[in-house]
Amino acid sequence: MADTAVRPDKHTAPETEADARVDVAGLTPILLGTWGDIRLEAREMITDEAFWQIPGQSYHEHRERVLAQLKLLADRGAGARAFPKEYGGLETQGGNLAGFEELVLADPSLQIKSGVQWGLFASAIYQLGTKAHWDKWLRDAITLDLPGAFAMTETGHGSDVQSIATTATYDVETQEFVIHTPFRGAYKDYLGNAALHGRAATVFAQLITGGVNYGVHCFFVPIRDENGADLPGITSEDDGPKGGLNGIDNGRLAFDHVRVPRENLLNRYGDVAADGTYSSPIASPGRRFFTMLGALVQGRVSLDGAATWGAALSLKIAVTYANQRRQFDDGTGSETVLLDYGKHRRRLIPRIATAYAQTFSHDELLRKFDLVFSGENDTDESRQDLETLAAALKPLSTWNALDTIQEAREACGGQGFLAENRLVGLHQDLDVYATFEGDNNVLLQLVGKRLLGDFAKQFKGKDTRALAAYAARQGASKFFHGAGLRRLGQTVADLGSTARSVELGLRAEDQHQLLTDRVQQMVSDVGARLNAARKLPPAEAQEVFNDNQVELLEAARAHGELLQWEAFTDALSRIDDPGTRTVLTWVRDLFGLSLVERHLSWHLLNGRLSTQRAAAVTRYIDRLCNRLRPHAQDLVDAFGFAPEHVRAPIASGAERERQDDARAYLAGLRERGEAPTPEKKIRRS
């Protein structure tokens, strides 16, 4: 991510507010990011209406349409990008996810079903298997001749994969693994392709050999014959209609002592010899488990991107409509466009800023992913960094997508509630993104624990005097911030124009310090309390952790927000056009100050802001929204969506035509003297 030091904004030619303009054509490639060419290729492909979602279809019809679309993708090579050229692939890891994310514009069900087939099922074969497995199954998985399911989640264990109950017990006599579902809670559940279309599954189970459980491993298990009938020992059930993504045949799988050959163990990280002897290149069971799961981190990475583009699409619809829809007489006989109202600006423009921050941070995440999975920088440390980064950003983007789409829906009034304008359906489909590939709160806990681990490294090998010195520094820090010294300095500075003062006092370096300071303080506070509990009995120590869990998750979320802000700031240095850079600096400031405003109580209670400056933050945000009002349409147009991607009548120009027609009609009445006299005018006379 970004360097801790914030580089100054490099304006080659200072712009006045009136002169600044966005170079839309130049900004779009920057937003499309490192693999913009593949994004454009994918966008061009999905201008074909064969890929578009049809609102109102039954879930049975929708499933078959999405399966047909998946076959079109396979025929065009869209599912092969990540895999070796030997198997028809292109060997581009970041480019593969970039193209995959764009499918959300066509139909989120298509995006997720293609993710199941190629990002999970085929990827498990590739990432967890070896060349023998690739030769046997990978090519058919890529071409969709072998549709598959990814059977990890169980009804009774979702995010806690380490505790799944499905077993794979090795039988030395037959050299087979026996896959078994021991009770109802161990059914594999919510699996795409499980209800109808899958013919095999990559099944995660506890590997048992010689009476020893070696933990979770992955097995290739056939589940249906070519006619779609369950194979012996396989039970499949249909999850039925869902709250969204009904183009995917989610279902359940259970296994009744199903036997598969020893060679069906995907054995890159753990193997069983013919005599039942277990071996692994990774000695630590915990590290082995997390390495296997880390090999599949691309699901979280792609959801971060897809959610970001989904939010951007909703803003394109809502801002376009708000620039055309008129409501309420402005006193001149003409009605006002919605985006000219202060509240409407406040509800949409800060969310544009968030979408931009997420776009830039996602491209950095995607580049990190590509470095690891291409092998260019595949180390334990880089994989851990990637996993932490994905776990920090995916919750923020998926939650923000739901918030942004809902706000966009409300901002479009009744029109936003019509299925044809896509916002309701988009919200329904992206709802479960907050749960896919790890519940958001569980992911943030993973980030929090990583932050605590980094915090604890400060004390490794330190004696009690060093710990006492740290405690003294913490006390001094709290005294400094809490006793009013910093706040007093702010108050003195704020005695002049508060508006001018807050603008000068909350620029890039101030935003960065506030955001960084909040993360560091929250982590150190939680870390110190948990460190003090290390010698307690396990039950009491767990209770201390539970008491601090909410604050830990909030620290992890603050960490993700800081990463987004830093990515946005880094992106500013890559923008050559002075006008665009000026406008995007305002957008970055709006994002940063919106984060400060969201956590204003923390900054006040911890002495980071004076009361006067805290009150001025909101007013300055309003000023930024007003300053960005003329650029709002350019900012959403720069996402680069074609009409075939938007497909919302209210963003097609139809609303402008209706408004122009109404205004022309009323103007004609007035010109001809045929307009009736308002009652209020008669009363005043």
What is the rounded average pLDDT of the residues 296-306?
92
Average pLDDT on 109-132 reads 96
| Range 116-121 average pLDDT | 96
Q: What is the DSSP string of 114-181?
A: HIIIIIIIHHHHHHHS-HHHIIIIIHHHHHTSS-EEEE--BTTBSS-GGG---EEEEETTTTEEEEE-
How close are the terminal C-alpha atoms of the chain, in Å?
68
**What is the pLDDT at residue 37?**
97
Alpha helices in 507-537 (DSSP H): 508-532
In which band, very low, low, confident or very high, does the pLDDT at 545 lie, cut at 50, 70 and 90?
Answer: confident
Could you tell me which residue, 298 or 329, shows the higher pLDDT? 298
Residue 82 phi, psi (nearest 5): -80, -15
Residue 204's alpha-carbon distances to 121, 151, 594, in angstroms, are 11, 6, 42
The single-letter code of the amino acid at 172 is V
What is the predicted pLDDT for the residue at 6? 36
Query: Does the structure show a pLDDT above 80 at 241?
Result: yes
Nearest to 458 by CA among 562, 531, 387: 531
Q: How confident is the model at residue 461 (pLDDT cuts 50, 70, 90)?
A: low
Indicate the CATH number for domain 150-285.
Answer: 2.40.110.10
Half-sphere exposure (CA, 13 Å, Cβ side) for 50?
A: 10
pLDDT at 640 over 90: yes
Q: For the structural domain made of 34-143, what CATH number should be given?
A: 1.10.540.10
- CATH architecture group of domain 24-29+299-637: Up-down Bundle (1.20)
Let me know: does 533 contact 540? Beta carbons within 8 Å. Answer: yes
Mind listing the pLDDT tens digit for each residue in 560-595?
999 999 999 999 999 999 999 999 999 999 999 999
Separation of alpha carbons 350 and 584, rounded Å: 12
Q: What is the pLDDT of residue 407?
A: 98
Q: List % helix, strand, coil for the chain (3-state, nearest 5).
A: 60, 10, 30
What per-residue confidence (pLDDT) applies to 63?
98
Long-range CB pairs of 131-136 (<8 Å, 24+ gap) are 132/263, 133/220, 133/266, 134/84, 134/87
pLDDT level of residue 505 (50, 70, 90 thresholds): low
Q: What is the mean pLDDT of residues 53-66?
A: 96
Task: List 251's β-bridge partners, or say none.
Answer: 191, 238
pLDDT at 13 over 60: no
167 neighbors 255 (Cβ within 8 angstroms)? no
Q: Is the pLDDT of residue 619 over 80?
A: yes
Per-residue pLDDT at 301 = 95
CB count within 10 Å of CB 572 equals 20
CA 244, chain centre distance (Å): 17
Percent of the chain with pLDDT over 90: 70
**Domain residue ranges of the chain, discontinuous segments joined by +:** 24-29+299-637, 34-143, 150-285, 653-684
Pairing of strands 200-209, 148-151: parallel
pTM, rounded to two decimals:
0.91
Number of H helices, E strands in the chain: 27, 13
- Give 166-177 as a DSSP string: -EEEEETTTTEE
3-state secondary structure of 490: helix
Instruction: Please determine, for residue 332, whether its predicted confidence score (pLDDT) is greater than 50.
Output: yes
Contacts of 84 (CB under 8 A, 6+ apart): 91, 134
In this predicted structure, the answer to whether residue 478 has a pLDDT above a threshold of 60 is no
Alpha-carbon distances of 411 from 311, 317, 324, 337, rounded to whole Å: 14, 10, 13, 12
CA distance 510 to 515: 9
For residues 481 and 362, what is the distance between their CA atoms, to the nearest angstrom? Answer: 34
Is residue 681's pLDDT more than 50? yes
Average confidence (pLDDT) over 11-30: 78
Return d(Cα 282, Cα 220) in angstroms, integer.
21
Give the mean pLDDT of 653-669: 85
